[in-house]
Structure 1
Amino acid sequence: MEISFIHCADLHLDSPMVGLKNLPTSIHNKLKESTFIAFKKVIDTAINKKVDFVIIAGDIYDGEDRSIRAQIRFREEMLRLKENQIEVYLVHGNHDHLNGSWINIDLPDNVQVFPSMVTIKQFIKNNVSVNLYGFSYETRHVKERKIDEYIRSEGANFHIGILHGNLEGSTDHRAYAPFQVKDLLAKKMDYWALGHIHKRELLETIPPIVYPGNTQGRHKKETEEKGCYFVELSEKDARLEFIPTSEVVWESLKIDASNVKTFDELYRLCRKKIDERRDGSYSFIVSFEIEQLQMEDSFLDSDLLEILQQDEGDSESFVWVTSIKIQENTEWLKDNLLKESAFYEELFAVTKENEAVDDAVFSLYQHPKAYRFLEELTADEKRDLAKEAEELLLSMLVNYGR
């Protein structure tokens, strides 16, 4: 006795891609379509795998207005599933809650939408029955423990909980419909289909308690490939297969530039990183963080970014560098300053002396209202303060000139 299904969540159809400027038209269009293409891959997988049903665990749309464009595209995919006799069970989350304002586009009858109260919907096929439990957000902010309303009902071969919510104590997202893992285990489900957290995570294996993450990353914090899960559930076990669906992958890459001496060498090093990503499987939005660079040029990052973006042009599988952050090599900078003038030698010498720290805080410790609340600084604390002062001094010298 076995069933199979797709578990996806957080489609955020028609989501704007934030934090991007001056994109070529081709890249802009691909990003604009990326959430739709990712969801199409989900549906392609469901059809190719001949699953029994699809679970969508909330936030189908990016906003409570549910754009007509997004609704039409979603319905088209639901109709494809209907043509292949595949049922759909979905809940709405905090982004696309039931109390929003939108022009309603009817969905085909293979789509089962959970109401605002925890409800049971039953799937039956070939004498195999499944109870699915879930609820849709009535408003954007659902902060009560809805998990307490999930009650297993006997009379089915399998039981699946659908919950768009946040693990208590997690700070990744707002704490909506909070729960603890022990709460889910106590409900005796065979599978928990979670949504809301955009990072893929398996909270428990027996039974599987699964965040599939979102299907397409939308900004620099949603890195790595995204997707959904193909699940085969039997009386003995559950088999999970992650299916990548990203059209565009966001990445943050560190570059060790300790051996770079010229701008051209730095440019070539960045180009090598870009070419390593260009494998044809994905397009990439990349942020570079350059470390240990031993060059002084306040315009270096902006010049380099402009050139790398110009090189990319209209590539079909693009690698678009959206930002470059250069971490100052403070030790190298300090060494060069010390060689320039005896003035800098005297300046930095002050930050090495504990007496200088004592002089700096002397007036605070002598203040008639403050001194009683202060403890004597330890040697380690004085060293930490001196180090912070030195780093601040170097930063000011870099940013405002010497």
Structure 2
Amino acid sequence: MKQVKFIHTADLHLDSPMVGLRHLPKAIFHRLQESTFTALKNITNTAIEHEVDFVVMAGDLFDGEDRSIRAQAVLRNEMEKLAAKGIKVYAIHGNHDHLGVKSVALNYPDNVHFFSDQVEKVDFRKADGTLVHLYGFSYPERHVMERWIERYQKIDGADFHVGLLHGHFEGVSDHGKYAPFRLSDLIEKDYDYWALGHIHKKELLSQQPYVVYPGNPQGRNRKEIGEKGAYIVHLTEAGSEASFFETAGVIWDETVIDAQDSLSFNALYENCLNIIDGRRREGKGVLLDIRIKGLNSSHTDVIEKITSGELLELLQEAEKEEESFVWVHRLKFTEDIVVDRAQLIKQSDFYQELFSTIEEYDDLRNSLSPLFQHSQARRHLELMSERDKEELVEDAERILLQLLLKN
């Protein structure tokens, strides 16, 4: 029976600078700095362990247009490990590492094929004669807005057909709308597998045929939470199978604690410690975002120790030297206030106008523009998702009402 086995990865973003995280302890920040390389090494080790036929990399191998020499050197070393085992690699460049840049480029071993700036077909043939056609292209420049999917064509004569595409799934993603496509566009090509890149969250768009975003193999900020990895794909004449495996050395995570279950500071502290122990991963680091809800004016001692940073310091202290650390990098709380909007509106027209303004407010871009225009602040800011914007407005409303009602 004809069959082929390969690994599908994408969006490695090697040597990502991890902007805004230098406040972390030196050892933890170093682990995070090295994490994209760790993920790559985990991918190559898995490829060797499972004796795959080849590896496909669906764009954004490098984080920046300059493609640092170190990132290229690490990638080349890993490719040489695969070459020693007879494992081929097929890669495309995406919007972050497009072909339009002028930078020093290292040579890679002969087992590595980078697709050109036009959709092309490349053949992979096993010793038993099994033939795979792989189709793909590398971004000629950063902003590729055209529907390149229309340039893909199936060329008969192979046992299996695999498409590589770094692009935007129309109607779903918040990412840049590069090389857009619809799911029907991919299915119509009659390929056996679509290896996608560009979206940093794993998404299984279809199983017949498999259409897969593996997500990035290493999360780089608190928006890229949870397990990160790649897929081992097994194509046979009888059917296909794709299984996910983890690659991240550092995992971003988040949790919510209900303060109603912690009536004292000690109880809340113990609750946090239990959660930290429950999130610990052997051999991995975890950067944990904790949000405490349910606090009110009766929790004055708890609120004081949170706002002063004392609770955060206590939680972090024991993790500085841990190999399998769980570092609480963000600790927020929300103080519950009981607001009877109808009653407040009856008291004053001011509240009617206030609540209407909050509900209709959509001018965050202009409100935050001074931050994005500031050269130093801009480096620590990220594009905000719709949920981030909603949370910002909700936080502002809560703070404003607290101040108004206290007065």
1:368 — aligned with what? none
**Structure 1: tracts of 5 or more residues without a match:** 335-347, 365-387
1:134 — aligned with what? 136
Q: 1:122 to 1:309 in 2, by over 3 A?
A: same
Taking the aligned partners of 2:238 and 2:352, their CA distance within structure 1 comes to 70
Taking the aligned partners of 1:45 and 1:30, their CA distance within structure 2 comes to 21
CA deviations on 1:139-170 (whole Å, 9 max, x unpaired) are 11101000000011111111111000010112
C-alpha contact 2:173 2:199 (8 A) present in aligned 1: no
Q: CA deviation at 1:354?
A: 3.5
Give aligned-pair identity as a percent.
46
1:177 — aligned with what? 179
After superposition, residues 86-101 of structure 1 pair within 5 angstroms as 86-101=87-102
Q: 1:136 to 1:360 in 2, by over 3 A?
A: closer
After superposition, residues 227-266 of structure 1 pair within 5 angstroms as 227-266=229-268
1:309 — aligned with what? 316
After superposition, residues 42-191 of structure 1 pair within 5 angstroms as 42-125=43-126, 126-191=128-193
Taking the aligned partners of 1:158 and 1:171, their CA distance within structure 2 comes to 29
Q: 1:353 to 1:177 in 2, by over 3 A?
A: closer
Q: Which amino acid counterpart does residue 38 of structure 1 have in structure 2?
A: A
Structure with bigger gyration radius:
1
Q: 1:350 to 1:8 in 2, by over 3 A?
A: closer
TM-score (norm. length: structure 1): 0.85
Q: CA deviation at 1:272?
A: 1.3
Matched, 1:328 2:335: yes
CA deviations on 1:34-61 (whole Å, 9 max, x unpaired) are 1101110100111111111100000000
1:371 — aligned with what? none
Taking the aligned partners of 1:184 and 1:326, their CA distance within structure 2 comes to 45
Q: CA deviation at 1:307?
A: 2.2
Q: 1:11 to 1:279 in 2, by over 3 A?
A: closer
Taking the aligned partners of 2:314 and 2:22, their CA distance within structure 1 comes to 15
**Paired residue secondary structure (1:15):** coil
Aligned residues: 361
Q: CA deviation at 1:311?
A: 2.4
C-alpha contact 2:94 2:139 (8 A) present in aligned 1: yes
Q: Which amino acid counterpart does residue 128 of structure 1 have in structure 2?
A: T
**Paired residue secondary structure (1:312):** coil
CA deviations on 1:287-335 (whole Å, 9 max, x unpaired) are 001011242335624222122222222111111111111011113xx7x
Q: 1:82 to 1:291 in 2, by over 3 A?
A: same
Taking the aligned partners of 2:71 and 2:26, their CA distance within structure 1 comes to 21
Taking the aligned partners of 1:359 and 1:119, their CA distance within structure 2 comes to 63
2:306 — aligned with what? 300
Q: 1:147 to 1:258 in 2, by over 3 A?
A: same
Q: 1:71 to 1:293 in 2, by over 3 A?
A: same
Q: CA deviation at 1:279?
A: 3.9
CA deviations on 1:91-127 (whole Å, 9 max, x unpaired) are 0001100111321100001101101110111111121
Matched, 1:23 2:24: yes
Q: 1:360 to 1:112 in 2, by over 3 A?
A: closer
1:376 — aligned with what? none
Taking the aligned partners of 1:4 and 1:20, their CA distance within structure 2 comes to 38
Taking the aligned partners of 2:341 and 2:219, their CA distance within structure 1 comes to 48
Taking the aligned partners of 2:237 and 2:351, their CA distance within structure 1 comes to 74
C-alpha contact 2:345 2:352 (8 A) present in aligned 1: no
